[in-house]
Chains A and B, each alone.
Chain A
Amino acid sequence: MAAATDTASNANAQQLVLEREPLVLNNRSFSWITNRICGIVENRQPLGWWFLFLPSVLLTGVMVFCFAYLIVTGVGVWGQKQPVDWAWDITNFVFWIGIGHAGTLISAILFLTRQKWRTSVNRAAEAMTIFAVMCAGLFPAFHVGRVWMVWFLAPIPNANAIWQNFKSPLLWDVFAVSTYFTVSLIFWFLGLVPDLATLRDRCKPGIRKALYGIFSLGWRGSNRHWSHYETAYMLLAALSTPLVLSVHSVVSFDFATSVVPGWHATIFPPYFVAGAIFGGFAMVLTLMIPVRKIYGLQDLITMKHIDNMAKIILLTGTIVGYAYCMEFFMAYYGANPFELQTFKLRALHGPSVWYYYAMFFCNVFAPQVFWFKRFRQSLLAVFIVSNFVNAGMWYERYVIIVTTLERHLTPGSWRTFDATWVDNWTFIGTFGFFMMLFLLFLRFLPVIAIGEVKGVKPEADPHYGESHDRGLQEAEVMGETDSEILASQKAAPAH
Chain B
Amino acid sequence: MSNLKRVHGYLAEFDNAQDLYHAAEHIRDAGYQRWDCHTPFPVHGLDGAMGVSRSKLPWLVFFGGMTGTITAFVLQTITQTNFWRDNMGMGFLQKLVETYPTVVQSKPTGIWTLPAFFPVMFELTILFSAFTVLFGLLALIGLPRLNHPLFTSKKFAKFSDDGFLICIEARDPKFAQQGTRDLLEKVGAKNIELVEDDI
Residues of A bordering B, CB below 8 Å: 29-31, 34, 155, 157, 161-169, 171-172, 175-176, 179, 182-183, 186-187, 189-190, 194, 197-198, 200-202, 213-214, 217-232, 235-236, 239, 242-243, 246, 250, 253, 450-452, 454-455, 459-466, 471, 473-474, 477
Contacts and interface: CB of A to CB of B under 8 A. Distances in A.
Contacts of B107: 167
B147 interface: yes
5 contacts: A30-B40, A171-B120, A179-B126, A201-B157, A225-B141
Given A217-B145, A218-B146, 19 more contacts: A161-B100, A163-B80, A165-B102, A169-B119, A179-B126, A190-B133, A194-B160, A198-B161, A221-B159, A222-B141, A223-B38, A225-B143, A235-B58, A239-B126, A452-B41, A463-B21, A464-B16, A465-B18, A477-B188
A462 B137 contact: no
Given A29-B162, A162-B102, A186-B134, A226 B39 contact: yes
B160 A198 contact: yes
Interface string B129-164: 111011011101101111110100000110111100
Contacts of A186: 130-131, 133-134
A227 B126 contact: no
Interface stretch (B48-56, B85-93, B171-179, B191-199): B48-56
Contact of B127 (A183, A200, A223, A451): A183
- What range describes how many residues of B lie at the interface? 35 or more
Contacts of A228: 55, 57, 137, 140-141
A235 B133 contact: yes
Contact of B143 (A201, A217, A465): A217
A423 to B, nearest CB: 30
A197 B162 CA distance: 13
Contacts of A30: 40, 161-162
Contacts of A176: 119, 123
Interface of B: 16-18, 20-22, 26, 36-47, 49-50, 52, 54-55, 57-58, 61, 75-76, 79-80, 97-100, 102, 104-105, 107, 113, 116-117, 119-120, 122-124, 126-127, 129-131, 133-134, 136-138, 140-141, 143-148, 150, 156-157, 159-162, 186-188
Contacts of B47: 223, 227
A223 B99 contact: no
Contacts of A239: 126, 129-130, 133
Contact of A221 (B38, B49, B120, B122): B38
A465 B117 CA distance: 55
A182 B130 contact: yes
B119 A231 contact: no
Contact of B18 (A200, A201, A219, A466): A466
B148 to A, nearest CB: 6
Contact of B52 (A167, A217, A223): A223
B41 A179 contact: no
A478 to B, nearest CB: 8
Contact of A477 (B41, B46, B130, B187): B187
Contact of A460 (B17, B38, B55, B145): B17
Contacts of A463: 18, 21, 45
Given A222-B36, A224-B52, A461 B17 contact: yes
Contacts of A474: 22
